[in-house]
Structure 1
Amino acid sequence: MSDPEIAILRQKIHGLSADDYATALRSRLPETEIAVAQTPSEERELLEQVPIATGFELSPDEVEAAPNLDLFACVYAGVGHLDLDAFEANGTAVTNASGVHGPNIAEYVIGSILSHVRGFRQAWRQQDRNEWRSYPAREFQGSTVTVVGLGSIGQAIVDRLDPFGVDTIGVRYTPEKGGPTDEVLGFDEIQDALARTDYLVLACPLTDETRGLIDSEAFLTLPSDAFMVNIARGGVVDTDALVAAMQANRISGAALDVTDPEPLPNDHPLWDIDTVSITPHNAGHTPNYYERTAEILATNVERYRQGETEYENQVV
């Protein structure tokens, strides 16, 4: 057996094993020697040898002990858990898995909105009581959807909104870049967007600028029949302000895949609000996760072999 070119670290991602990842990679790189670390000692040995490693995390000490590591392919879209300075000091490029979540998270958003529009939660409650009783519903067509964050996930959401005949507003750091929405505004104009919003979708990263972005003022600005979907990070929303807004009927409902704190304590008041649906950071789950991640890495392996120094999804 030749020396491995790629090491897959042991961490399990979204319930999928490293062996699943290896299968997806080998189908794309059949001539490549790919090793899966089964134990911590195997992981250390592989990191001393291979030019390419992939997984969720490497500590600064592990990076320093990997003198031959030219590329680390993180299997998460976010890299806030990594010490990027350590990789840079080691001369190791880092890529992320941005884009792999687009289809599944966009489906979560569309499903949450349509469930609210057509009153499915009310239907489910009545079904539990064997109760046949008509209830009012809304139409999605003609409404205004504001998507905060126009990265790969935000763009996937906007693409899937197109057939519904809605108006879209995008909010992003760099509005001059434009985007797929009907309007693109900067964060300094978000209050203007909120005042015209029927459905608010949060798809932005958690940064100093976005922490607590949706606060008491935002909930006062949104129309009282607005509905919010948060698939960003819990900290983008001021949780106390959200609870107060829901209890005062200042917005009509919310679908939360992320919360602050997370996990949400079982005695938290959000659990008891009928117009709030909560999922346990589950929107990103998909059986195709490693297939999409493998596609990104396979592209970058070819670039590496050709001597290129710029990679798809490169962050360092």
Structure 2
Amino acid sequence: MEVHGTPTGDQLAGAEVLYVWDHRFADLAAVLRRADRLRWVHAASVGVNRLICPELAERGITLTNSRGVFDVSIAEWVLAATLSFIKGFPRTLALQREHTWQYRTTGRLAGKRAAVVGTGSIGRAIADRLSRLDVQVTLVGRTAGADQTFGAVRGSDDLLSVATDVDMLVAAVPLTAATTGLIDAEVLAALGPAGFVVNIGRGPTVVESELIEALQTGTVAGAALDVFEVEPLPADSPLWSMPNVLVSPHMSGDYVGFEVDMMGVFVDNLRRWLRGDQLHNIVDPDFGYVRG
């Protein structure tokens, strides 16, 4: 069965498979308690932090997500936001609205150094496309390791040191206990006054109040944010009016036709389910994401 809101007991009767379309659906535990035959839950999203609950592991219910659908579109959004900042497009558009011809020079993306925090398929897609534009990319994962494409992977416990060596910090991680508050005032200070912050993962990964202060004081130069601690972003948030900030309403991955592609992931898995084959995109509930 497919869920847009909270299902009724009658709808759950006999259901073995649950398709959660609305990624904001947050009461899975209550649903599981009323669905005694449920064996598999599929999320029409990549982030599943709101769906993780003890009942999944206790009952051995498989949770899968839509990993892979948004890789390219989010990477394109990051490139667009980064280039807009470096090339000064917000200032150019402001001058255009004033009918002001003002010659200026801007920066170059080539030769910049970026740290992409998150080694999942989205983080890797971002790193790949930045690399193609001659950006030096460092991947940051949960633990240190090696990657055959991007070389050494730094551990998130080394993020402070990583931040001192890069110009851009891109957060592309799921929301877990380990990633909550990962980018704080100390990391922002290490990034420095020319630094640019991008967050397309989950809002609480960045300590928002400390980012606001860093932007106001010039501790960092700018930010492109698609996710926030509270969504929708409150109307009184200072982020709305900052000229060095791009506020995007949690839409970096959404493109025309994405719904069809997400359904395709589910249909492929459903065929596997019916054949008794291994499902794709199985989320490890202890970590909150698809491992490997």
Same-fold status (TM-score > 0.5)? yes
Deviation at 1:307, TM superposition (A): 2.1
2:56 equivalent to 1:62: no
Distance 1:145 1:87 in 2: 37
Alpha-carbon spacing, 1:136–1:102, altered in 2? closer, same or farther (3 Å): same
1:48 corresponds, among 2, 10, 13, to: 13
Paired residue for 1:8? Answer: 2
The amino acid of 2:40's aligned partner reads L
Counterpart residue number, 2:45: 76
Residue 112 to residue 49, structure 1, CA distance change in 2 (3 Å): same
Counting matched residue pairs gives: 280
Provide the rounded CA distance (Å) in 2 between the counterparts of 1:226 and 1:180. 25
From 100, 104, 109, give the equivalent of 2:78. 109
Which is further off, 257-266 or 138-147? 257-266
Instruction: Specify which of 172, 176, 180 is matched with residue 141 of structure 2.
Output: 172
Three-state SS of the structure 2 residue aligned to 1:296 is helix
Q: Is the 8 A contact 1:155 1:180 kept in 2?
A: no
For residue 219 of structure 1, what is the aligned residue in structure 2?
188
Q: Which amino acid aligns with 1:10?
A: H
Of 164-173 and 226-235, the range deviating more from structure 2? 226-235
Q: CA RMSD in A?
A: 2.2
Do residues 140 (structure 1) and 109 (structure 2) align?
yes
1:235 corresponds in structure 2 to: 204
1:46 Cα shift? 4.4
Measure how far apart 1:129 and its partner are.
0.2
Q: Is the 8 A contact 1:168 1:182 kept in 2?
A: no
Query: How big is the shift at 1:159?
Result: 1.8
Are positions 1:250 and 2:205 aligned together?
no
Could you tell me how far 1:164 is from its partner in structure 2? 0.4
One-letter amino acid of the counterpart of residue 47, structure 1: L
| Corresponding residue to 2:97 among 128, 151, 162 | 128
Question: Structure 1 length as normaliser, TM-score?
Answer: 0.80
Distance 2:146 2:12 in 1: 39
Partner deviation per Cα, 1:193-232 (whole Å, 9 max, x = no partner):
1111111111112233222222221122113211111112
User: Structure 1 152/179 Cα, relative in aligned 2: closer, same or farther at 3 Å?
Assistant: farther
Would you say the 8 A contact 1:196–1:223 is kept in 2?
no
**TM-score by structure 2 length?**
0.87
Per the alignment, residue 85 of structure 1 pairs with: 54
Q: Could you tell me how far 1:89 is from its partner in structure 2? A: 4.0
State yes or no: 1:98 paired with 2:67. yes
* CA distance, structure 1, for counterparts of residue 49 and residue 56 of structure 2: 13
Name the SS for the 2:72 alignment partner: helix
Deviation at 1:83, TM superposition (A): 4.9
Q: Which moved more, 1:174-183 or 1:237-246?
A: 174-183
Deviation string 1:25-64 (CA, Å, 9 cap, x unpaired) is xxxxxxxxxxxxxx955xx444323432312446334323
Displacement, 1:149? 0.8
Q: 1:159 to 1:220 in 2, by over 3 A?
A: same
- The correspondence of residues 181-220 of structure 1 with structure 2, limited to 5 A, is 181-220=150-189
Matched to 1:251, the amino acid is V
Number of the residue aligned with 1:311 = 279
Q: What stretches of structure 2 of length at least 5 have no aligned partner?
A: 285-292
The share of aligned pairs that are identical, in percent, is: 32
Secondary structure of the corresponding residue to residue 145 of structure 2 = helix
The 3-state SS of whatever aligns with 1:49 is coil
SS of residue matched to 2:13? helix
- Structure ID, larger Rg: 1
1:169 is paired with a residue whose SS is: strand
Measured in 1, the distance between the counterparts of 2:170 and 2:242 equals: 20
After superposition, the Cα gap between the structure-2 partners of 1:126 and 1:182, relative to the gap in structure 1 and judged at 3 Å, is: farther
